[in-house]
Amino acid sequence: MMGNIFQRAKALPLSGKLGLALVIFWLAVALFGPMLAPYPVGAFVAYDVFDGQSAKHWLGSDYLGRDVLSRLMSGARYTVGLAAAAALLASTSGTALALTAAVGGAKVDEPLSRFMDMLISIPSKIFSLVLVAAFGSSLGLLLLIAAFTYIPGNYRIARALAVNLAQMDYVQVAKARGERRFYIAIAEILPNMIHPLLADFGLRFVFIVLLLSGLSFLGLGVQPPDADLGSLVRENISGLGEGALAIIAPAVAIATLTVGVNLLIDAIGFSGKGKGQ
Amino acid sequence: MSATPHVEVKGLTVTARNGAGEIFPIVSDIDFALNRGEVLALIGESGSGKTTIALTLLGHARPGAKIAEGSIRVGECDLTKLDRGALAQLRGNRIAYIAQSAASAFNPSRTIMDQVVEPALIHNLMPRAEAESKAVDLFRALALPFPETIGARYPHQLSGGQLQRLMAAMALITDPELVILDEPTTALDVTTQIEVLRAFKTVVLERGATAIYVSHDLAVVAQMADQIVVLNQGRIREAGAAAQILHAPADDYTRTLMAAARPAVRPAPPKIALPAAPLLEIHGMTAGYGKIGKDGRPRIPVLRDINLTIERGATLGVIGESGSGKSTIARVIAGLLPPASGQVLLDGETLPPGLHGRSRDQFRRVQLVFQNADTALNPAHSVGRILTRPLAFYHGLKGNAARMRVLELLDLIRLPATLIDQPIGGLSGGQKQRINLARALAADPQLILCDEVTSALDTVVGAAILELMAELRRELGIATMFISHDISTVRAICDDILVLYAGTMVETGPREAFGVAPFHPYTDLLIGSVPEMRAGWLEESHAGIAPPPVGGQGDHPDLCRFLPRCPARVDGLCNTTPPPRRPLSKGSQILCHLGDESLRPS
């Protein structure tokens, strides 16, 4: 199994390898970052604010004189962890509902689809703002908000795929064989939509990173002294005029994370298709 | 005729690059020549390179492919030496192309006339008004209905056969020196094919066009070609005058092709001593889509009043053109479409109408084999997984026992055991169809419903599948319902035949009855439309002659469905009274007002 994964990684095109490297890098930062960070997250360690790069502070200092590198290494955990968990939750529940709709016939499909249309019409930022205002910001709530917001989108995509696949001859054969709906959904339909769903997962992940960063930017996301990548950008916004590393570094971090995930997922979908031919 | 041929291809080699970046030839060392006004046919199975060669005559190679060597001369130009601009000047002007599927070659959002005159306008050959009047002349020459007004319609308002002829009009509007026809009738029903072929032949003869006709069907080619080039795997196997190739083929491969085109008639297996009830009976079945109305008919009826029986181990052939409802019969029996009324009995027991309520054993006894193995086998599964599932589902076989049985099945369908762990994607069309069949056999069924199992395959591969099915039937005694649009195949392998037209059974009987006239007028048309492998058949065939005029049609729902196309219709009878079901002395039963004495003798 491990060898298989290694071989597939080797077969990826260059862009995929780059994406894979970025993803592994950010996963490693998320897992081990807080342990390796040179200074505690909230410690004031520099005498100057918006200090430039130096041997003591590789990425300079922020608006309060804290070490940017340390804050970045601790912040990545929130962004990567929250976004991955929320994207996984959104994709699995959306896809499960979509499969139910595809094999359940019009009686299940219609109400479910209309309900999802209703959800999709709620603006995600306003919805998050209301919930955060009502319950106060907490990691659990952020996770639920992000997942819930992106279930309908995933459902739409997965349902469109599943409904098409449910018309395929091999599904008809399975039905005529007397197979149960659960088997048809899991064994016949799901394996054939996994690649587009992976691409969709990548997109959802990126959207959620941006949503969480946006919320943090508004001050409603992860609360100080902890910070995710979005709040790092926000709290250092006053350094923008000086072109401080403190604001550039977290922005670049968000960009490399999202671009890396997309490169990897595009490459996986591509090589998977190539194999099927 | 001039001494130098009009079109000359010499030493043509087209290469492509495979996934690993290696260059390999698709076709190599192709030489042929034809004089002005001649028709040359390129014949071969899929993958033989016939379309690749046809496209090179437009100076085109498909993406990834390249014309590597050789010369292609049309008139005085060598196409391999022209640049893009010069080629664009030739295409659609001096060289025209007619594609296989006209339905997808027309733009659905523009009128027919807009598209037919487009080549003439693009090349600035004539003003629009002149082009339009020329188009109308062509419509008339191609025997299209309403030639003056048909141009104002949109593609979706016309049938496949009409679109194919309109595409010919589009190609001919510029009076091209060379017309390339790429399988122009392959996607059509036989009864439509004969009309289109007639129209093509008239137009090609009248205009003295030089043409290259690409096809896999020798009998069709026999009607059109002066010269035939037989291709196999990118090389010329045999080339020569049409008569020589058809009557005295010199190459083994040509002989294989000829043999595959004419299915051998198989003797009926000895009748097994029959238990009381036949295996499958259908009584008064009506089926369709949409809500069922007050009169017990669905809103969009597909099948009306179907009655049939299949004995144990027997083969019933169901034949009809596309849209006649023949696949729907199989879907109803399999439970995928509950009938609106009527009963399906298996072994004397009534089957529940839909999937719901059928027992696992009832599911097991009836197995469905779809036409297109590419879509009938799940591409995400391996061969072993596909064959193991019915074994586990119906017989509870697991692990090693299941694997042993899968190997037995692979042996039964003559595939190597090494395929067991292969994904479906890597198999050839014929191999996939065998797996498709083996999956049905894995259930250990009593009845297999075969829906056009050979029509997506090349003739040679299809003949091998038919051979295999006949053998399996002899060894395992499984009854088959064989659905097909090809009457010669059905006549060769089935014990009983049912002819379906627009959802009604127009003729039923043992296969012997389908060898002698008289036939129901529709059966007669079907049989008469199958091209024979000799030149001149097209001119002699009586199929597709215009029906006699009749007055207005009554609105009775049970009037003869074939009435609008029937050459034997009787005014005042057929258009007012529903036809009775009557026996013919040769042993079949027909749905017609006419009987033995008044139907066309052979």
Domains of chain A: 31-276 (1.10.3720.10)
Subunit contact B423:A276, Cβ cutoff 8 A: yes
Report yes or no on whether pTM surpasses 0.90. Answer: no
Q: Which pair of tokens denotes residue B82?
A: 């022209």
**DSSP for B253-308?**
HHHHHHHHHSPPPPPPPPPPPPPSS-SEEEEEEEEEEEEE-TTS-EEEEEEEEEEE
Q: pLDDT value at position B205?
A: 80
Subunit contact A173:B370, Cβ cutoff 8 A: yes
Q: pLDDT value at position A268?
A: 74
- CA B387 – CA B368 distance, rounded (Å): 14
B372 interaction partners in chain A (CB closer than 8 Å): 169
Cα torsion through B285, B286, B287, B292, rounded to 10:
-130
- CA B200 – CA B167 distance, rounded (Å): 11
Give the least confident one: A42-51, A230-239, B395-404, B583-592: A42-51
Of B355, B368, B425, the CB nearest to A173: B368
In percent, the amount of chain B with pLDDT more than 90 equals 16
| pLDDT confidence band for A235 (50 / 70 / 90) | confident
B328 interaction partners in chain A (CB closer than 8 Å): none
pLDDT at A34 over 90: no
- CA B466 – CA B226 distance, rounded (Å): 32
Closest by CA position to B178, among listed B75, B247, B83, B288:
B75
Subunit contact B358:A170, Cβ cutoff 8 A: no
Distance between A179 CA and the closest CA of chain B, angstroms: 8
Long-range contacts of B241-244 (CB under 8 A, 24+ apart): B242/B41, B242/B535, B243/B535
| pLDDT confidence band for B65 (50 / 70 / 90) | confident
Q: Are B500 and B324 in contact (CB under 8 A)?
A: yes
> What average pLDDT score do residues A74-87 get?
87
Residue A276 sits at the chain B interface (C-beta within 8 Å):
yes
pLDDT at B596 over 60: yes
Residue B387, helix vs strand vs coil: helix
Distance between A189 CA and the closest CA of chain B, angstroms: 9
Cα torsion through B363, B364, B369, B375, rounded to 10:
70
Distance between A16 CA and the closest CA of chain B, angstroms: 18
pLDDT at A270 over 60: no
> What average pLDDT score do residues B426-453 get?
88
- CA B8 – CA B75 distance, rounded (Å): 9
pLDDT tens-digit readout, B222-236 = 888 888 999 888 888
| pLDDT confidence band for A87 (50 / 70 / 90) | very high
Cα torsion through B549, B552, B558, B564, rounded to 10:
30
Mean pLDDT of chain A: 83
A 233-272 → B contacts, CB under 8 A: none
Q: pLDDT value at position A274?
A: 39
Subunit contact A178:B378, Cβ cutoff 8 A: no
Q: Are B126 and B134 in contact (CB under 8 A)?
A: yes
> What average pLDDT score do residues B129-158 get?
87
Subunit contact B423:A277, Cβ cutoff 8 A: no
| pLDDT confidence band for B300 (50 / 70 / 90) | confident
B180: how many CB neighbours lie within 10 A of its CB?
A: 24
Of A170, A175, A275, the CB nearest to B376: A170
Of A168, A177, A191, the CB nearest to B363: A177
Q: How far is CA A101 from CA A97, A182, B571, in A?
A: 6, 12, 53
pLDDT at B602 over 70: no
Distance between A193 CA and the closest CA of chain B, angstroms: 10
Of the residues A170, A172, A197, the best mutation for testing chain B's interface (the one with the most B CB atoms within 10 Å of its CB) is A170
In this prediction, the answer to ipTM > 0.90 reads: no
Q: Does the bond joining B518 to the residue before it have cis omega, within 30 degrees of 0?
A: yes
- CA B90 – CA B111 distance, rounded (Å): 25
> What average pLDDT score do residues A141-155 get?
90
> What average pLDDT score do residues B198-208 get?
81
Q: Which pair of tokens denotes residue B399?
A: 């692990």
Q: pLDDT value at position B268?
A: 59
> What average pLDDT score do residues B214-220 get?
85
Give the B-side interface with A, CB within 8 Å: 19, 334-336, 355, 358, 360, 363-364, 366-368, 370, 372, 375-381, 389-390, 393, 423, 425, 439, 443
Of the residues B359, B378, B382, the best mutation for testing chain A's interface (the one with the most A CB atoms within 10 Å of its CB) is B378
Angle, CA of B121, B127 and B128, to the nearest 5°: 70
B19 interaction partners in chain A (CB closer than 8 Å): 274
Distance between A63 CA and the closest CA of chain B, angstroms: 54
In percent, the amount of chain A with pLDDT more than 70 equals 94
| pLDDT confidence band for B363 (50 / 70 / 90) | very high
| pLDDT confidence band for B264 (50 / 70 / 90) | low
> What average pLDDT score do residues B279-291 get?
88
Subunit contact A178:B19, Cβ cutoff 8 A: no
Residue B145: partners with Cβ closer than 8 Å, 6 or more residues away: B162
Subunit contact B370:A275, Cβ cutoff 8 A: no
Q: pLDDT value at position A277?
A: 29
| pLDDT confidence band for A275 (50 / 70 / 90) | very low
Of B358, B372, B379, the CB nearest to A192: B379
Nearest CA in chain B to A277: B425
State the burial class of residue B29 (Cβ atoms within 10 Å of its Cβ: 0-12, 13-18, 19+).
Answer: middle
Segment holding B366, helix H or strand E: strand B366-369
Residue A140 sits at the chain B interface (C-beta within 8 Å):
no
In what order do the strands lie in the sheet containing B210-215? Answer: B95-98, B178-182, B210-215, B39-43, B227-232, B235-241
Q: Are B316 and B481 in contact (CB under 8 A)?
A: yes
Nearest CA in chain A to B356: A178
- CA A253 – CA A30 distance, rounded (Å): 12
Residue B548 amino acid letter: P
Domains and CATH numbers, chain B: 7-259 (3.40.50.300), 280-316+325-475 (3.40.50.300)
- CA A243 – CA A241 distance, rounded (Å): 6
Residue A176: partners with Cβ closer than 8 Å, 6 or more residues away: B334, B335, B336, B355, B363, B366, B367, B368
Subunit contact B378:A188, Cβ cutoff 8 A: yes
Residue B535: partners with Cβ closer than 8 Å, 6 or more residues away: B222, B223, B242, B243, B246
Mean pLDDT of chain B: 85
Distance between A166 CA and the closest CA of chain B, angstroms: 11
Residue B380 amino acid letter: A
Distance between A160 CA and the closest CA of chain B, angstroms: 18
Q: pLDDT value at position B344?
A: 92
